[in-house]
Structure 1
């Protein structure tokens, strides 16, 4: 199941606190269920290596969640299926409903929310407060349509303080000085890696905007940059 010696060692480290009876009564039935519905062995292995405690869920509840995820339209042969199962294992029915209601406050329909979940299961793993704050940032600060977020739900999982606000501030300063185009695709900006963002939008302009790196690192207030 684990493949390499390194993965076996990591598996032992993660699983050592789980009683043997849990393997017999939970892990084996749950793994066998995933096999029966066509989840690839490599995906099951990833679940066990990354989220071992998910495998010791009560088999009755585990089966209910697996069936629910299938009904939502996830394909068991795809890797997102495992992520969706894990996401659902982390919340009960009332928690799911509360998060759905948070999204509905932004005029998203049940169909929209399910479409976003199928695209990126992690979008419902964020807290209700995080969802509200991030949606407020995208819709009210950045002017995105809610449909834009539905089609790119991965944008929900990014950190406001460490990623979204610093990058938006850098782009706004560069646009105000005419150094980058006004119609830049911000979704790409937010999704790019740290190194890619620095190389494209910070390092090339540090001579023209001396405090740009400080702004990005949160060491300078945005208002002080726009008044220069």
Structure 2
């Protein structure tokens, strides 16, 4: 318990791990757990990120160290080097996937987002978590971003966090809001869609909803409805 408290950094994180994986207490510290933790440090993953990774994937500590080494090799093979700030995220995304499944997901990403080999490599280096998204989610988000919003595949590849946001809760409602403002001549200059998507909710409201209370008094209500999966009539343009 003392070792795990030091590793995870707090009793709260340790309790989360124990709730998900109580068997971690039966793993051999000296032969299994400590060698895995040491290997993650060899990969130049910081203590805080090791804690985050192992909270998300407790088996990183309890699996055979050769299996963990193999996952690290796969991460490097996808273009994310050890020591990079995304390396632990790639390990999290790849955790315990079979090599053929990883290859299949990479091919699916290329087909779905129309990415070249170079573009899928850029996307995975910037946002490894896209590998963890289901094929259904990837398909629906690709259709929306490319077919409806009209984004170029290369644009998405260089901003690969876009597919990681909620389609119903963020991507669609913010797109509808920007489109409504542009169609009604309420934006003083063109606003980049990605920049609007990544804003925290309160900042988005401050920049794109609140300034238009008089010109578009129903905008806040319509945006809230869109966030619930509804498309208000005012947001429909043909």
Distance 1:96 1:130, change over 3 A: same
State the partner residue of 2:158: 151
**Residues 176, 235 of structure 2: 8 Å contact kept:** no
State the partner residue of 2:25: 20
State the partner residue of 2:233: 223
Matches within 5 A, 1:1-228: 7-16=9-18, 17-24=22-29, 25-89=31-95, 91-105=97-111, 106-181=113-188, 183-218=190-225, 221-225=231-235
TM-score of the aligned structures, taking structure 2 as reference length: 0.83
**Aligned-residue offset at 1:170:** 0.9
TM-score of the aligned structures, taking structure 1 as reference length: 0.87
Deviations 1:71-94 (A, max 9, x none): 333232233111111111053233
SS in 2 for 1:39: coil
SS in 1 for 2:81: coil
CA RMSD of aligned residues (A): 2.5
Aligned residues: 226
**Residues 149, 155 of structure 1: 8 Å contact kept:** yes
Give the distance between the partners of 1:3 and 1:27, measured in 2 at CA.
Answer: 13
Once the two structures are overlaid, the 10-residue window that deviates more, 19-28 or 87-96, is 19-28
Once the two structures are overlaid, the 10-residue window that deviates more, 180-189 or 148-157, is 180-189
Question: Structure 1: 5+ residue runs without aligned partners?
Answer: none
**Aligned-residue offset at 1:182:** 6.2
Deviations 1:14-47 (A, max 9, x none): 3431243324354222111122333333332332
